[in-house]
């Protein structure tokens, strides 16, 4: 994906990436300033998410390409970034997928060294990155042990790498939910998470200054519906992640058109508040503090 600001001539040259950290920082600074100005002039949540993802996609792809990693290694966006809901100061969550056959070879050590340099560079240019480096088998094994990993794998998007390996990855993720018992277990664990989160974020302090993301009725509760729909693959939800979930649930007669409109409006309002909080505080701030 080409970079589209005045610094793209520098950043698009892979041989300069590893040393021209200043150019990368300037690319992000100009891009972020443009995002903010456009949003404040004409607020549109979806457009901001789309443009922010495009900004990050472009830089990450260029940086990844500069390291000449093996073609069958893949860079995958997961979590909120994976589903295309990237707030101004949210972390950039990444999965680096390695082929299983690489693990027992000398190439593995070389690749690990390259990846350490790649992740270090992301921090150097100013990105807040959450990352994991796993083979396909390791991904599935970790997902079976950790519900958070399993949830992240449900929301993924290939940035650069082997498309066939990525399709194999998607099939293996689908396999985690083939058995109805696995879906019931996923639902049960997510419900426990929600109960614990509601207990934590429903005390007096959070009632007075609610967390837009985590408090009861916040964005995380809407994400819960998304995750359950994905785990059940309702109406082919896993194949239509970029579509309108609420419309999909309406078509499946799970919610009414009126309920879908009400939920969408609630979601847009919460998203708008969270975006404005990030811009206003110039950090990842999700609480509606009295200071604001």
The confidence score (pLDDT) of residue 1 equals 38
C-alpha radius of gyration, the chain, whole number: 20
pLDDT at 2 over 50: no
Place of tokens 């009400």: 262
Residue 129, beta-bridge partner list: 92
Q: Which of 83-97, 100-114, 277-291 has the highest mean pLDDT?
A: 83-97
Say if CB 94 and CB 131 are below 8 A apart.
yes
Angle at 87 between CA 86 and CA 93, to 5 degrees: 45
pLDDT at 105 over 80: no
What dotted CATH number matches 8-175? Answer: 3.30.460.10
Say if CB 248 and CB 234 are below 8 A apart.
yes
Cα separation, 231 vs 201, whole angstroms: 26
pLDDT at 291 over 90: no
Contacts of 214 (CB under 8 A, 6+ apart): 197, 200, 201, 220, 286
Burial 142-166 (b: 16+ CB within 10 A, else e): bbeeebebbbbbbbbbbbbbbeebb
Contacts of 204 (CB under 8 A, 6+ apart): none
Residue 191 burial (CB count, 10 A): 12
Chain mean pLDDT for the chain: 88
- The gap between the terminal CA atoms of the chain, to the nearest Å, is 37
Rounded to 10°, the helix 257-281/45-65 angle is: 60
In this predicted model, what pLDDT tens digit does every residue of 167-195 receive, in sequence order?
A: 999 999 999 999 999 999 999 999 999 99
In this predicted model, what pLDDT tens digit does every residue of 33-89 receive, in sequence order?
A: 999 999 999 999 999 999 999 999 999 999 999 887 777 899 999 999 999 999 999
Q: What secondary structure letter does DSSP report for 287? A: B
What is the band of 204 on the pLDDT scale with cuts at 50, 70, 90?
Answer: low
Return the closest-CA partner of residue 76 out of 205, 168, 8: 168
- Determine which helix (DSSP H) or strand (DSSP E) holds 140, and give its type and residue range: helix 136-145
In terms of C-beta density within 10 A (0-12 exposed, 13-18 middle, 19 or more buried), how is residue 204 classed? exposed
Contacts of 8 (CB under 8 A, 6+ apart): 2, 27
Residue 132, beta-bridge partner list: 95
Cα separation, 90 vs 280, whole angstroms: 14
Q: Residue ranges per domain, the chain?
A: 8-175, 180-281
Q: What secondary structure letter does DSSP report for 133? A: E
């Amino acid at each position: 994906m080409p970079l589209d600001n005045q610094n793209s001539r520098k950043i698009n040259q892979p041989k300069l990436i590893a040393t021209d950290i200043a150019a990368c920082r300037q690319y992000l600074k100009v891009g972020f300033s443009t995002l903010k100005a456009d949003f404040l002039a004409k607020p549109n949540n979806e457009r901001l998410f789309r443009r922010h993802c495009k900004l990050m996609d472009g830089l990450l792809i260029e940086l990844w390409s500069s390291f000449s990693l093996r073609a069958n290694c893949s860079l995958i966006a997961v979590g909120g970034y994976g589903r295309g809901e990237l707030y101004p100061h949210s972390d950039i969550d990444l999965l680096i997928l390695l082929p299983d056959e690489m693990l027992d070879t000398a190439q593995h050590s070389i690749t690990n060294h390259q990846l350490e340099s790649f992740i270090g560079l992301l921090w150097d240019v100013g990105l807040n990155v959450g990352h994991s480096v796993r083979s396909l088998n390791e991904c599935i094994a970790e997902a079976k042990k950790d519900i958070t990993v399993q949830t992240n794998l449900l929301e993924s998007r290939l940035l650069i790498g082997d498309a066939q390996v990525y399709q194999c990855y998607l099939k293996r993720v689908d396999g985690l939910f083939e058995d109805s018992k696995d879906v019931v277990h996923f639902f049960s664990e997510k419900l426990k998470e929600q109960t614990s989160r509601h207990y934590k974020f429903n005390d007096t302090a959070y009632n007075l200054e609610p967390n837009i993301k985590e408090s009861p009725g916040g964005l995380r509760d809407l994400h819960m519906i998304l995750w359950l729909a994905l785990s059940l693959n309702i109406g082919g939800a896993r194949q239509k992640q970029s579509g309108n979930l609420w419309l999909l649930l309406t078509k499946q007669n799970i919610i009414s058109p009126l309920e879908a409109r009400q939920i969408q409006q609630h979601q847009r309002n919460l998203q708008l508040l969270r975006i404005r909080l990030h811009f206003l505080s110039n950090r990842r701030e999700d609480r509606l503090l009295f200071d604001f």
